[in-house]
Chain A
Amino acid sequence: MRRFTILFALLVAIIPACAARPGDRLVYGLTLAPSGIDPHVNASSELGIPLTAVYDTLVYQDLSCNCFVAGLAERWEVSDDGLVYTFYLRQDIVFHDGIPFDAEAVRYNLERITSDDLASQKARFMLGPYDHAEVVDDYTIRIYLGEPFTPLLDALSQVYLGMASPAALAEWGEEYQLHQVGTGPYIFAEYVPGDHLLLRRNPDYAWGPEIYANETAQVEEIEFRFFVDPATRSPALETGEVQVMGEIPPQDASRLSESDDFAIVPAAVPGVSLMLFMNTARPPLDDVLVRQALLYGTDRQAIVTAIFADTSPVAYGPLAAATLGYEPAVQGMYPYNAERAADLLERAGWSDSDGDGIRDREGEPLVLDLYLMSWGYMPEIGQMAAAQWRAIGVDTVSQVVSYPEALSIASEGTHHLIPFTLSGSDPDILRKFFHSQALFNWSGVNDPEMDFWLEEAAQLGDRQQRVALYSRVQRQVMQQALVIPIRDYVNLNGISRRVQGLRFDAQGWFPQLIDVTLEDR
């Protein structure tokens, strides 16, 4: 037995302990092994974290002015009717495979994205009413739309509509996602699906947008690895296996931010906040008083404190505060007030006549069906909210379901409450949720006025007019008490203090890797 002990001790001693990696290679931990990483085909946000550095886009979004700036296109024009976009391209750009970038390449990419054979899951739909593209000359391209669509520039600024080398697309076909070629500051060097993705610095890069601080990338290689299990993310950072780790669980984040060796870089993600959709088409939630009572009866601050350790802001309206067109007026609405909630329920005719702690009306108890998906802390939020509602005499039956099942439950309208959240930088995202024909119309809303505002705002060229319409939508959503907003999404990125310059773009998800440096220590 002793022999074994000695052997084991020897074995442990031989194996090298944690060693810091050299400064020219950064390891970046991602949370999900993305389901496919062809940006034209696949839809995950994770794919954009590495690939935003591989591809350039026609335009970029500058957070400092909330405007669009030149990218692959040095300037662009929009026709008065909003149907034709003309892009004048830079002439000094080459793909990583040495092929020059031109208008034909743009046309080829758009053609690919919109072809039925590609079966795009996201990029195609971001183009909205896209009709066709026309090469005007070598460096001028025109995009024609079926109807005006103002979010087009926002779409064209995202990696999903990044420009890939036509030669590589033609060569690799269905396996292109393992051999991607763009024009960005990093070259796609290697991808082993589910295991890692390796980027190598592009030494020739000199055409970055003005939002990049550096002309070329500072770190020689960046390796992405996937850490599916949240509990193992912080340990991987602390052992030095990674230097950047996305989506650190809040309870680990507070510990890391107090440490000398690590820091937390929070990135607010714009879009639709995590919120519970209340199905207004199904009694008793067809009664606005009941919906308002639930809003007053939800202590959002307590939820954010207990589950998110106060790392993300409490949400008050349908849009996250980091989104363009966010209406701050919603902030004062529905402060936590259990008495007010009870009062509203009494007014709606719900009182506890049989003394079992659950309100009832005409012999029917007040019970709501709550469906939750297992990600995004929805089960935890659901449990806490249910406990708070119980205190005002509302009972819930909750069930955890898969995403496809949640979609089908919601489209049949057999739910009372389902939470959801979605990221996106343009307020047009509201149309996905509150238009009467929307697939995510989980509140069962059918408001012609709101439909009109949402359709109009997607077509208006003037930003102020758009923002005014979206303000109305947000106020209307809250006045009608269609949702219970809980929290804005904040991505807690844990970093080693050796890492400097990690910033995120307008989408909140995607790092500007060109500006990241890694100090030797």
Chain B
Amino acid sequence: MTPSYLARRFFHALFVLWLSATLAFIALQLTPGDPAQALLAASGATADQVAARRERLGLDDPWLVQYLRYISDLARGNLGYSWLHGRPVGRMVLEQLLPTAELALAATAVGVALGLGLGVLAAVRQGTWVDVAATAVAAVGLSTPTYWSGLLAILFFSLQLCRFPAGGEGGLRHLVLPAAVLGFALSGSIARMVRARVAEVLGAPFVLAARARGLGARRVLLVHVLRAAVGPALAVTALQFGFLLGGAVITESVFARRGLGRLAVEAILWQDLPVVRGVILVGAVAYVLVNWAADVLQAWLDPRLWEERV
């Protein structure tokens, strides 16, 4: 891990940040609607008062001026105030980061465990009913929207069995259902990738050689096959991270949890530019970190990928 490698990584991260912030800005500019009008119309403000607010928010300035202001604020770490909430964006985002991270981590744990299990099971029993069953479970995970599975989980585990709370936060019990539902959805794609990869590895010469040397099936599976399978599982997880951040909005809604996803959806619907920017910033930073971690882990698991880094 040389300093120049770290520096390059850092500039990559900055570049990604700038690019996503710019994309967010363009997207919001293209969205029809006037944020100032949306904020005030229902309160009985006059057209003049709305115009005054629009000017105050800087919405009358040319695009380029707005963009430069936006980027320079971002560069100075000034996230500004939410137009809708009237609070500092930095604090709002930080408040929502923890519960989102909690759900994302728990769901990832469920998803990876379940995905690895199903994927390996399906691969080693390729073509049998076990494979079909594991694939079917993965397909249910893949195709069942969390707004539906989440509600089913609430009706069954909360209302019928009375075991887990239907919503809210507060300790592990509240986390079980949302993490299971979101993790299950995540496990589907992990299982599919793992199955494909393991099936490939099972036929690879080194595995056959290991078998030929008389190593037990369980040992070969643990040493060679799982090692090969973890890589793709990690890659899929890392790139589903965005899904966890944004897709969690549905799980958050169903299970009455707060989080970044809900904050972001609200900000997009109300065109609350400062909050959108704040969420993008946090999302991009988190994404860069997670993928960096995944890359390092993957390289560690497969040293051949390591050489070109150093």
Enumerate chain A interface residues (CB-CB to B < 8 A).
12, 15, 17-18, 33, 35-36, 38, 41-43, 116, 118-119, 121-122, 124-126, 128, 174-175, 177, 192-196, 225-229, 231-232, 235-236, 238-239, 241, 402-405, 407-409, 411, 422, 431-432, 437, 439-440
Once the chains are docked, how many angstroms separate the CA of A305 from the CA of B254?
27
Q: State which of B47, B86, B92, B259 has its C-beta within 8 Å of the C-beta of A42.
A: B86
Contact present for B44 and A125 (CB under 8 Å): yes
**Interchain CA distance A119-B80 in the complex, whole Å:** 14
Contact A422 B159 (CB under 8 A): no
Interface contact A437-B253, CB-CB below 8 Å = no
User: Is A408 a contact partner of B258 (Cβ separation < 8 A)?
Assistant: no
> Which residues from chain B contact A437 at a C-beta distance below 8 Å?
46-47
Contacts A33-B262, A125-B43, A407-B37 given; does A236 touch B87 at CB 8 Å:
no
Question: Chain A CB within 10 Å — which of B161, B173, B256 has the most?
Answer: B256
Residues of B within 8 A of A235 (CB): 154-155, 158-159, 166
Query: Which residue of the partner chain, among A35, A194, A236, A439, contacts B41 with CB atoms under 8 Å?
Result: A439
Which residues, 71 to 86 on B, are CB-close (under 8 Å) to A?
81-86
- Contact assessment for B258 and A239 in the assembled complex, using a CB-CB cutoff below 8 Å: no
Contact A194 B262 (CB under 8 A): yes
| CA A128 to CA B163, docked complex, whole Å | 52
Q: Which residue of B lies closest to A40 (CB)?
A: B86
Digitize B89-121: 1 where CB-to-A-CB distance is under 8 Å, 0 elsewhere: 001100110010000000000000000000000
Given A35-B85, A36-B87, does the pair A228, B262 have CB atoms closer than 8 Å? yes
Question: Are A226 and B33 closer than 8 Å at their CB atoms?
Answer: no
Closest residue of chain A to B53 (Cβ to Cβ) is A119
Given A38-B86, A122-B43, A175-B91, output 5 extra A-B contacts at Cβ < 8 Å: A42-B84, A124-B43, A193-B95, A195-B99, A225-B256
**A160 — nearest CB in chain B belongs to which residue?**
B43
> Quick check: is B200 within 8 A (CB to CB) of the other chain?
no
A411 to chain B: closest residue by CB: B37
How far does the Cβ of A128 sit from chain B's closest Cβ, in whole Å? 8
Taking a contact as CB atoms closer than 8 A, the residue among A33, A232, A403 that contacts B154 in the complex is: A232
Q: CB-nearest residue of chain A relative to B81?
A: A174
Which residue of the partner chain, among A36, A192, A227, A439, contacts B167 with CB atoms under 8 Å?
Answer: A227
User: Which among B44, B83, B86, B166 has the greatest number of chain A C-beta atoms within 10 A?
Assistant: B44
List residues of chain A with CB within 8 A of the CB of B280: none
Q: Is the CB of B43 within 8 A of A121?
A: yes
Residue of A nearest to B35 (CB): A404
Is A241 touching B44 in the complex (CB atoms < 8 A)? no
Residues of B within 8 Å of A116, CB to CB, are 56
Shortest C-beta distance, A58 to chain B (Å), equals: 19
Query: Given A33-B258, A229-B253: A121 and B37 within 8 A (CB)?
Result: no
Contact A196 B92 (CB under 8 A): no
Residues on A with beta carbons closer than 8 Å to the beta carbon of B92: 193
Are A407 and B269 in contact (CB-based, < 8 A)?
Answer: no
Cα of A241 to Cα of B255 in the assembled complex, Å: 12
Of A35, A125, A236, which is within 8 A of B266 by CB? A35
Q: Which of A33, A126, A405 contacts B33 (CB 8 A)?
A: A405
Q: Please list 29 pairs of residues, one from A and one from B, whose beta carbons are closer than 8 Å in the complex, sorted by A's number.
A: A17-B163, A119-B53, A121-B43, A125-B44, A125-B45, A174-B86, A175-B91, A192-B95, A194-B258, A194-B262, A195-B169, A195-B258, A225-B167, A225-B168, A235-B154, A235-B155, A235-B158, A235-B159, A239-B162, A404-B32, A405-B31, A405-B32, A405-B33, A407-B38, A408-B32, A408-B34, A408-B37, A439-B37, A439-B50
Decide if B88 is an interface residue (CB 8 Å cutoff).
yes
Docked pose: A350 CA to B96 CA in angstroms: 56
| Contact present for B166 and A15 (CB under 8 Å) | no
The answer to whether A404 touches B162 (Cβ under 8 A) is no
Query: CA separation between A118 and B44, bound complex, in Å?
Result: 17
Determine if B147 and A229 form an interchain contact, defined as CB atoms under 8 angstroms apart.
Answer: yes
Chain B residues closer than 8 Å to A121, beta-carbon distance:
39-40, 43, 84, 86
Most chain A CB neighbours (cut-off 10 Å) among B40, B43, B49, B154: B43
Residues in B whose Cβ lies below 8 Å from that of A124: 43
**Are B271's CB and A404's CB within 8 A?**
yes
How many A-B pairs with Cβ below 8 Å? 165
Q: Mark B160-186, 1 if CB is under 8 A from A, else 0.
A: 011111111100010000000000000
Bound: A239/B49 CA distance, A: 47
* In the complex, B270 has a CB within 8 A of chain A: yes
A70 to chain B, nearest CB (A): 26
Q: Which residues of B contact A36 (CB under 8 A)?
A: 82, 84-87
Find chain A residues with CB under 8 A from B165 CB: 239, 241
Distance to closest chain A CB from B167 (angstroms) = 6
Chain B residues whose CB sits within 8 angstroms of the CB of A236 once the complex forms: 166-167, 256
CB distance from A202 to the nearest CB of B (A): 25
- Which residue from chain A places its CB closest to the CB of B155 in the assembled complex? A235
Are B270 and A227 in touch, CB under 8 angstroms?
Answer: no
A194 engages B259 (CB within 8 Å): yes
Residue of B nearest to A19 (CB): B162
* Complex-state Cα separation, A403 to B42, whole angstroms: 11
* Minimum Cβ distance to chain B for residue A121 (Å): 5
Chain B residue with the shortest CB-CB distance to A409: B32
Residues of A within 8 A of B44 (CB): 125-126, 128, 431-432
Closest to B256 in A: A227
Interchain CB contact (< 8 A) of A407 among B33, B81, B88, B266: B33
| Residues of chain B contacted by A38 (CB below 8 angstroms) | 86
State in angstroms the CA–CA spacing of A15 and B49 once bound together: 56
The distance from the CB of B65 to the nearest CB of chain A, in whole angstroms, is 20
Report B241 CB to chain A, min CB distance, Å.
21
7 A-B pairs with least C-beta separation: A404-B33, A194-B258, A36-B85, A404-B38, A18-B162, A122-B43, A125-B43
| Chain A minimum-CB-distance residue to B148 | A231
Question: Which one of A17, A227, A431 has the highest number of Cβ atoms from chain B below 10 Å of its Cβ?
Answer: A227
The one of A12, A196, A405, A409 in contact with B168, judged by C-beta atoms closer than 8 angstroms, is A196
* In-complex Cβ contact of A404 among B49, B86, B99, B270 (8 A): B270
Pick from A42, A228, A238: contact of B256, CB below 8 A. A228
**Distance in angstroms between the alpha carbons of A313 and B82 in the assembled complex:** 38
